[in-house]
């Protein structure tokens, strides 16, 4: 493969970058040293990295959570339980997407974050243009900043935001949120099934109520 994401070096040791940024500690990342892994973990992990799922994942952890070791364990959970995830400084990790290319992870993170901000801005503008028609540039800038809409209602016209456009935009947002909610519920079900496989809940044996002692009948003696 000419170009491969998520692989690099920490010093002279090969690593796979599982999380390129630690939440709250953006200068740190989580890696695993690939050369120290057993073959039943190493081979499936490399296969996951090289797959479309691995290459299309922003963080390798998302793909590893859906891939399994040769004995059927989720790779991400295995790495965590076995203490194989190490937190290191992003400035000390050099990404090597190809034999002739290398870049420090902290520099790569800066580039990717800037690209994401730009993509978000382009996406917002595209959504506005598609659902609301032509816009006043000042109005577009205000929405990108997150400012509130003006209080006075705007009547529908060829170049302004009207009630129908607002309603259509709200419907699109509702449909998108509904799809996201269904996706999250599916993910919850999948994680619960994986948790049940890793730690099945044993059924609690039912305790039968103790039988009450029956009083013996005393025969009357004549």
Q: Is residue 124 part of a domain?
A: no
Cα atoms in the 13 Å half-sphere on the side-chain side of 85: 18
Q: Is residue 73 part of a domain?
A: yes
Q: Find tokens 């364990």 and name the residue.
A: 73
Q: Is residue 153 part of a domain?
A: yes
In sequence order, the β-bridge partners of residue 94 are 9, 104
Same domain? 56 vs 138: no
Same domain? 157 vs 193: yes
Check residue 28 and give its pLDDT.
96
Same domain? 83 vs 23: yes
Q: Is residue 214 part of a domain?
A: no
Q: Is residue 222 part of a domain?
A: no
Return the DSSP state at 90: G
Question: What does pTM read for this prediction?
Answer: 0.55
Check residue 150 and give its pLDDT.
46
**Total of domains in the chain:** 2
Q: Is residue 112 part of a domain?
A: no
What range defines the domain where residue 75 resides? 7-105
Residues 6+ apart with CB under 8 A from 160: 133, 136, 154
Q: Is residue 207 part of a domain?
A: no
Model confidence at 92, pLDDT cuts 50, 70, 90, reads: very high
> With 80 as the cut, is the pLDDT of residue 81 above it?
yes
pLDDT above 70 covers a percentage of the chain that reads: 63
Distance CA 174, CA 144 (A): 20
């Amino acid at each position: 493969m000419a170009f491969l994401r998520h692989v690099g070096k920490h010093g002279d040791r090969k690593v796979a970058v599982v999380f390129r940024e630690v939440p709250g500690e953006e200068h740190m990342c989580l890696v695993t040293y690939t050369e120290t892994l057993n073959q039943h973990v190493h081979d499936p992990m490399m296969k996951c990295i090289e797959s479309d799922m691995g290459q299309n994942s922003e963080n390798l952890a998302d793909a590893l959570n859906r891939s399994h070791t040769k004995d059927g364990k989720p790779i991400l959970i295995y790495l965590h339980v076995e203490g194989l995830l190490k937190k290191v400084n992003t400035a000390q990790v050099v990404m090597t997407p190809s034999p002739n290319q290398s870049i420090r992870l902290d520099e790569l993170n800066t580039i990717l974050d800037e690209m994401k901000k730009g993509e978000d801005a382009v996406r917002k503008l595209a959504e506005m243009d598609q659902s609301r028609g032509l816009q006043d540039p000042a109005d577009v800038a205000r929405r990108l900043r997150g400012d509130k809409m003006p209080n006075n209602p705007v009547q529908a016209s060829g170049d302004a935001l009207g009630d129908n456009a607002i309603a259509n935009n709200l419907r699109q947002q509702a449909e998108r949120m509904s799809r996201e909610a269904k996706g999250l519920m599916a993910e919850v079900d999948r994680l619960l099934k994986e948790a049940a496989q890793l730690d099945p809940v044993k059924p609690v044996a039912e305790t039968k109520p103790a039988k009450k002692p029956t009083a013996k009948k005393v025969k009357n003696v004549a």
